[in-house]
Chains A and B, each alone.
Chain A
Amino acid sequence: MQEFANQLCENRQFGFKMTDSKYFTTTKKGEIFELKAELNSDKKEKKKEAVKKVIASMTVGKDVSALFPDVVNCMQTDNLELKKLVYLYLMNYAKSQPDMAIMAVNTFVKDCEDPNPLIRALAVRTMGCIRVDKITEYLCEPLRKCLKDEDPYVRKTAAVCVAKLHDINAQLVEDQGFLDTLKDLISDSNPMVVANAVAALSEIAESHPNSNLLDLNPQTINKLLTALNECTEWGQIFILDCLANYTPRDDRESQSICERVTPRLSHANSAVVLSAVKVLMKFMEMLPKDLDYYGTLLKKLAPPLVTLLSAEPELQYVALRNINLIVQRRPEILKHEMKVFFVKYNDPIYVKLEKLDIMIRLASQANIAQVLAELKEYATEVDVDFVRKAVRAIGRCAIKVEQSAERCVSTLLDLIQTKVNYVVQEAIVVIKDIFRKYPNKYESVIGTLCENLDSLDEPEARAAMIWIVGEYAERIDNADELLESFLEGFHDESTQVQLQLLTAIVKLFLKKPTETQELVQQVLSLATQDSDNPDLRDRGYIYWRLLSTDPVAAKEVVLAEKPLISEETDLIEPTLLEELICHIGTLASVYHKPPSAFVEGSRGVQHKRLAGSAGSGESVESPDAGSAAGASEAPPAVIPSQGDLLGDLLNLDLTPPTTAGPPPPPSSGMQMGAMDLLGGGLDSLLGGDLGGSPAMGAGFAAPPAAMPASFSAPVSSGLDDLFDLGGGVGMPMGAYSPPKTVWLPAMKAKGLEISGTFARRAGVIQMEMTLTNKAMSVMTDFAIQFNRNSFGLAPAGPLQVLSPLSPNQSIEVTLPLNTVGPVMKMDPLNNLQVAVKNNIDVFYFSCQYPISMLFVEDGKMERQVFLATWKDIPNDNESQFQIKDCHLSSDASSSKLQGSNIFTIAKRTVEGQDMLYQSMKLTNGIWLLAELRVQTGNPNYTSATVSVPDGLCLAFQTDHLGASLLPSLQSDHGFICNSLCFLPFKLLSLSVTQLSCLKIQFHICSLYSSHSLT
Chain B
Amino acid sequence: MIHSLFLVNASGDIFLEKHWKSVVSRSVCDYFFEAQERATEPENVPPVISTPHHYLISVLRHRIYFVAVIQSEVPPLFVIEFLHRVVDTFQDYFGVCTEAAIKDNVVVVYELLEEMLDNGFPLATESNILKELIKPPTILRTMVNTITGSTNVGEQLPTGQLSVVPWRRTGVKYTNNEAYFDVVEEIDAIIDKSGSTITAEIQGVIDACVKLTGMPDLTLSFMNPRLLDDVSFHPCVRFKRWEAERILSFIPPDGNFRLLSYHVSSQNLVAIPVYVKHNITFREGSSQGRFDLTLGPKQTMGKAVESVLVSSQLPRGVLNASLNPSQGTYTFDPVTKLLTWDVGKINPQKLPSLKGTMSLQAGASKPDENPTINIQFKIQQMAISGLKVNRLDMYGEKYKPFKGIKYMTKAGKFQVRT
Contacts and interface: CB of A to CB of B under 8 A. Distances in A.
Q: Please determine whether chains A and B interact with each other in the same assembly.
A: yes
Interface of A: 14, 17-21, 23-24, 44-45, 48, 52, 55-56, 59-61, 79-82, 84-85, 88, 92, 95, 116-118, 125, 128-129, 131, 151-153, 157, 160-161, 163-164, 167, 190, 192, 196, 199-200, 203, 206, 230, 232-234, 237, 241, 263, 266-271, 273-275, 303-304, 306-307, 310, 312-315, 317-319, 336-337, 339-340, 342, 344-346, 348-350, 370, 373-374, 377, 380-383, 418, 420, 585-588, 590-591, 595, 598-602, 605
Contacts of B119: 128-129, 160-161, 163-164
19 contacts: A20-B103, A21-B103, A21-B104, A23-B106, A81-B151, A81-B152, A128-B119, A153-B157, A199-B1, A266-B232, A274-B75, A314-B47, A318-B76, A337-B265, A344-B413, A346-B374, A348-B43, A370-B198, A587-B74
Most buried by B among A59, A314, A340, A605: A314
Contact of A587 (B76, B114, B125): B76
Nearest to A164: B119
Given A314-B47, A314-B80, A380-B368, A157 B118 contact: yes
A153 B161 CA distance: 8
Contacts of B19: 92
Contacts of A80: 151, 153-155
A87 B355 CA distance: 65
A602 B105 CA distance: 37
A88 B84 contact: no
A237 B46 contact: no
B267 A59 contact: no
B239 A263 contact: yes
Contact of B110 (A59, A190, A203, A233): A59
B121 A601 contact: no
B84 A310 contact: no
Most buried by B among A337, A383, A600: A600
B139 interface: yes
B254 interface: no
A234 B230 contact: no
Contact of A92 (B23, B44, B53, B152): B23
Nearest to B147: A45
Interface string B142-165: 110010010111111100011010
Interface stretch (B10-18, B173-181, B209-217): B10-18
B155 A306 contact: no
Interface string B78-114: 1011101000000000000000000111111111001
Contacts of A342: 190, 198-199
Interface residues of B, number: 106
Among all A-B residue pairs, the 10 with the closest Cβ atoms: A303-B230, A81-B153, A19-B104, A271-B77, A314-B47, A234-B122, A339-B199, A81-B151, A601-B72, A271-B78
A270 to B, nearest CB: 5
Nearest to A339: B199
B77 A21 contact: no
Contacts of A599: 55, 71-73
A913 B231 CA distance: 96
A349 B44 contact: yes
Given A17-B104, A310-B203, A348-B44, 7 more contacts: A20-B106, A21-B106, A80-B153, A117-B157, A163-B121, A199-B1, A310-B188
Contacts of A267: 232-233, 235
Nearest to A349: B44
Contact of A307 (B46, B230, B369): B230
Contacts of B46: 317, 350
Contact of A14 (B76, B104, B201, B233): B104
Given A80-B151, A157-B118, A348-B43, A266 B231 contact: yes
Nearest to B129: A232
A476 B110 CA distance: 72
B284 to A, nearest CB: 13
Contacts of A317: 46-48
A308 B256 CA distance: 23
B18 A600 contact: no
B268 to A, nearest CB: 12
A374 B198 contact: yes
A586 B72 CA distance: 10
Contact of A23 (B107, B155, B258, B266): B107
Contact of B72 (A20, A88, A600): A600
B26 interface: yes
Contacts of B229: 303
A192 B162 contact: yes
A55 B107 contact: yes
B258 A318 contact: no
Interface string B355-380: 00000000000001110101000000
A147 to B, nearest CB: 15
Contact of B105 (A19, A164, A263, A586): A19
B232 A268 contact: yes
Given A315-B80, A377-B417, A344 B190 contact: yes
B232 A381 contact: no
Contacts of A19: 104-105, 137, 142
Contact of A45 (B105, B107, B149, B203): B149
B263 interface: yes
Contacts of A273: 232
B41 interface: yes
B166 interface: yes
A350 B58 CA distance: 13
A401 to B, nearest CB: 19
B199 to A, nearest CB: 4
Given A18-B139, A266-B239, A340 B265 contact: yes
B50 interface: yes
Given A88-B114, A306-B265, A318-B48, A270 B72 contact: no
A420 B58 CA distance: 35
Contacts of B84: 312
A345 B372 contact: yes
Contacts of B267: 336
B21 A167 contact: yes
B80 A318 contact: yes
A315 B40 CA distance: 20
B114 A84 contact: yes
B48 A18 contact: no
B385 interface: no
A63 to B, nearest CB: 12
B146 A18 contact: yes
Contacts of A370: 198
B415 interface: yes
B261 interface: yes
A48 B157 CA distance: 22
B349 interface: no
B78 A20 contact: no
Contacts of B21: 129, 164, 167
Interface in B170-201: 188, 190, 192, 198-199, 201
Interface in B222-237: 229-235
A870 B19 CA distance: 85
